[in-house]
Amino acid sequence: MSSPMFNEFLAKVISKVKSKEAHKMIEKELHHHLLELSQSFQNREDSKEKAEEKAVQEMGNPYSIGERLNKLHKPRMDWTLITIFIMIGAISFLPLIGNAPGSLFLEQQAIWYSLGTIILISFLFFDYRKLKNWWFLFYSSGLLVLLYLPVFGLSAGGVKRWISFGGFTVDAASISMLLFFLAWSGILTKPDMFNGWKQIMMFGLFWIPFILYMMLPSFTSSIFYFLCVLMMFTFSHLPKKSKVIIITAKLTTCLLFIVPILISSRGSLLSERLFSFLSPEEYYDGSGYMYMLIKGLLAEAGWFGNGLNGDNAIQSLPDAHTEFAFPYLVYSLGWAFGIFLCILLIVFIWKISQNASKTKDSYGRILVVGGATLIAVPAIWNILMGLGFAPIIGVSLPFISYGGTTLIIYSAVLGIILSVYRRKDIIEPSEI
């Protein structure tokens, strides 16, 4: 039973700490310290009441302690990430200038960014720890979405990843990606789910979404899902033996079964894109045309570009506001702007990754690692694709390419990352 004297002291300390989320952790730490001091005084033959009184006196002025702890445990805002988000948001409107129907796209982009900002702020102030135990709901919802798409989904570019309802069309495959990201971040905080025969079950749970993505077919989603979960596995606090076994099994399965399927047929769309990437001149009348077109546009960009007036040359580039926003910006604003944008995105991704090492909560760390992967992989691939250094597989540039659903998904992920950073000094460390 807690001492009334200790309770009074702790109440005075807590009265000066504004963050209610930090109260429990502070009370636990201070109470433990008071008990240690009291026990040390009792060992010197003091009575229990006298020892408790001396322990409280030894701690010092409770109001001064509370003021110091208030500064130490207040919620944090990553203003660097927020500033870069605003800068990238402004840049996202540039590819829409000079593109018909530009005014309609500009209005819609403004609406999507407004909604994305609201969602980001909502997740920022939401306690992310409440998501941890909802993993089964997230996973089953993601599966239902992927099972729905092959039957009722809308096809675009040969991929059934869209759902239409109430006059709105949403990218359901991207929504499922967010759901699986949240599901696995919760699963990976439960080491008991990776013991014995349960490892086989976890292995199956991992591959089911991958196979369903391939059935859409969406090679891009499969790869992003694979890398996101693999990175979260790698940085989780699961036992090293379980981690090595599961990661090795995943990579081996991918190499032995998935890769041969992808490259077995030279006539497949994916194989054609791969071969046209390696030898675009041989496929100039087909999928190699885009590689040659982008190469020509980048060669004409110069340091300061050709302006955002949408001349005839850039109008020949399809999807300049979505998949090929980066080469469009380089052509229009020059290599100087392209280098600046690359540096901005690198700093953005680096800051997100850095936050993973700053949080003491293992669940928060897994969320940041997974979120960083979901943003970094498509960003890097899109830029390399726009420069002709990676195959064209339909990857948008996060926060810059036009697209309502993906923008909202990325905003939600960034909001969760900011929520983890906000609470990094007001929650107890955890290693499981």
How many domains, the chain?
Answer: 2
Q: Which of 18, 47, 72 is the last residue of a domain?
A: 72
The domain boundary, picked from 16, 44, 72, lies at 72
The answer to whether 208 touches 143, Cβ cutoff 8 Å, is: yes
Lowest mean pLDDT among 42-46, 86-90, 114-118, 386-390: 42-46
CA angle 419, 421, 425 (to 5 degrees): 115
What is the structure's pLDDT at 280? 67
Reported as a single tens digit per residue, the pLDDT across 378-425 is 999 999 988 888 888 878 999 999 888 899 999 999 999 999 998 887
Task: Tell me the Cα Rg of the chain.
Answer: 26
- Note the pLDDT tens digit of each residue in 205-240: 888 999 899 888 888 898 899 999 999 988 887 777
Shared domain for 199 and 266, answered yes or no, is yes
Q: What is the predicted pLDDT for the residue at 256?
A: 67
Looking at the fold, whether 117 and 36 belong to one and the same domain comes out as no
Same domain, 112 and 220: yes
Residues in contact with 429: Cβ distance below 8 Å, sequence separation at least 6, in sequence order:
360, 361
Residue by residue, DSSP assigns 136-177 as HHHHHHHHHHHHHHHHHPEEETTEEEEEEETTEEEEHHHHHH
CA-CA distance, 176 to 145, in Å (whole number)? 6
Query: Is residue 90 located within the same domain as residue 130?
Result: yes
Which residues form the domain of 59? Answer: 4-72
Share of the chain above pLDDT 90, in %: 31
Same domain, 141 and 49: no
Question: Does a structural domain hold residue 265?
Answer: yes
pTM for this one?
Answer: 0.85
The pair of structure tokens assigned to 417 is: 């990352």
The answer to whether position 303 is within a domain reads yes
Residues 190 and 319 in one domain: yes
| Helix, strand, or coil (residue 26) | helix
- Please tell me whether residues 235 and 208 are part of one structural domain: yes
User: How far is the C-alpha of 31 from the C-alpha of 5, rounded, in Å?
Assistant: 11
Task: Tell whether the model's pLDDT for residue 373 goes beyond 50.
Answer: yes
Q: What's the pLDDT score for residue 135?
A: 93
Q: What does the pLDDT average to over 21-45?
A: 74
Domain match, 84 and 54 both: no
